[in-house]
Each structure stands twice: as structure tokens, then as C-alpha cells.
Amino acid sequence: MEIADGWDEVEIGRSRGGLPLTLYRPAGAGTIDGLLIAGIHGEEPETLLLARRLLERIDGTDTSWAILPCANPDGVLHGVRQNAAGVDLNRNFPSASWQAGHSFTYPPGTQVRQREHRTNRSSPGETPGSEPETQALVALIESLHPEVILDLHSPLELIAPTPAADPELVARLAAAADLPVQPNIGSPTPGALRDWCTDHDIGAITYEVEHAALPQLVARHLPGLSALVTH
Ligand SMILES: [Zn+2]
């Protein structure tokens, strides 16, 4: 399906591997209320497809949200978590929590993630914010000043808001998909986008879908996500 009418395509930067980072924003819109990010982890391409479904089904004139459906095109292209430099972008943000050296990507023992191309060790980059994708995202958030950021992931099946996220909005999202709200994912995520948002008092919601086929994910999650971006 084609992208619906009423969206402007904007290149906000390039990946480490030279691929465009494409933002969709409502044509001619002034204020952007929300920013939806998907595909920051390249081995979670179902998140990109969910974002794409929103762009196909929602006209740009019916929303004040901007959508970045693929924050890590290098990783999606190669079916791996990291960008072309081997960096987990969601451990590369210049948050107070950023740490050199490897970190756990997800709680040890989370068997659902033990797949061939998933590793439980993440490279955070040489320095905080070293990667062009991270820099583009930080610049985007600082220029748009969205009231809320929704970051799509899989497969932990939960919603993890930062303290500044609107609790009513979080509750609506959780109810729509029958997802638990779990502000603490269970292990530290140094250099994560959500940590950086917490540092800057930005309302951000990590939205983790389950490991499932796309039709099932669309049926469960698209109604709540559509309501969110057209509210
Ligand atoms: Zn993820």
C-alpha cells in the first residue's frame, strides 16, 4: 500500500552506512505533538512495519504526530540489532547513564530473545552520541519539541514510560492492547533513548510488542497506536 495523503517526507540525516533516515511529518503542520520512532533495533523489523501501516492508514491531515519508521536502516537491511559500525544505537545516547564497554542488551535469562542474530552484549559506541543516527535523533527531538515520544520495540510485551510521560495517555495505550505498564524494564539500559529522555524530562514511552506475526501485531496494537496519533 501507498503512504496516505498529507505527509511530507523529510531526510533528517544518514545512517553510518549512508542510508537515508526518513521522517514523515504532516504536510504544512506547525506544532508537532508527538514523535513515533520505530526500527531503532534492526532485528525488530515488525516495528517498522507497524509504523508503515500507520502511515498507510492515517492521512497526514488527521494527525499532529511525526513518524520515523526506520531509525536504523543499516540494521534492518542486515537483520541485526546494530548499525553499520556495530553499535546498538539505543545504548549510544548521550544520557548520564551512558557507559563505555559492553552492556547487557536485555535482562539475562530472557529466553525469547536468544535467536541466532541476537546478542546479549551491546556495543555503546566509542563515545556518547558517536553515531550519526543518534545525532540525527537528538537534533530532531530538540527541534520538534514533541510532548511525547513513542519508541516501538519487540518482543518484551510491555509499556515502559519515563516519569514525565502523561499517565492518562499511558493508561489508554495499555488498555487498548492489554499490555502491562512496567516503568522499569528489569535491567539497566545505559545510553538508551529513554534514559536520555528521562534526563531531559521528556515524556517517552517504550512500547514493546510481543514476538508474533504481523497480522496478529496489527490486530492487537494498531487500534491503540492509531488512536494515539489521531487523538
Ligand atoms: Zn529493541
pLDDT score of 201 more than 90:
yes
Distance 63 CA to ligand 1 centre (A): 25
Helix (H, G, I), strand (E, B) or coil at 213: coil
Taking the centre of ligand 1 as the mean of its atom positions, its distance from the CA of residue 152, in whole angstroms, is 7
> From residue 104, how far is each of 67, 95, 121, 183, 218 by CA, in Å?
28, 16, 5, 18, 29
Residue 66 domain flag: yes
Count Cα atoms within 13 angstroms, Cβ side, for 209: 29
Considering its fold, how many domains does the chain have in total?
A: 1
What CATH number is attached to the domain comprising 158?
3.40.630.10
Burial class (CB in 10 A: 0-12, 13-18, 19+), 159: buried
Q: Is residue 2 included in any domain, yes or no?
A: no
Residue 11 lies in a domain: yes
Cell 543518534 found at: 134
Q: 28-32: long-range contacts at Cβ-Cβ below 8 A with a sequence spacing of 24 or more?
A: 29/60, 29/64, 31/64, 32/64, 32/65, 32/66, 32/144, 32/145, 32/146
pLDDT at 110: 58
* Mean per-residue pLDDT, 188-208: 95
The tens digit of pLDDT for each residue in 88-118 reads: 999 999 999 999 987 666 656 655 555 545 5
Active site residues: 208
Tell me the per-residue pLDDT of 41-71, one tens digit each, with 9 for 90 and over: 999 999 999 999 999 999 999 999 999 999 9
Residue 139 domain flag:
yes
Q: How far is the CA of 167 from the centre of ligand 1 (A)?
A: 22
Is residue 134 in a domain?
yes
Domain membership of residue 89 (yes or no) is: yes
Side-chain-facing half-sphere of 142: CA atoms under 13 Å: 8
Domain for residue 192, yes or no? Answer: yes
pLDDT band at 179 (very low <50, low <70, confident <90, very high): very high
Q: Which domain does 129 fall in, by range?
A: 7-230
156 Cα–ligand 1 center, Å? 9
For the CA atoms of the chain, what is the radius of gyration?
A: 16
**125 touches 179 (CB < 8 A):** no
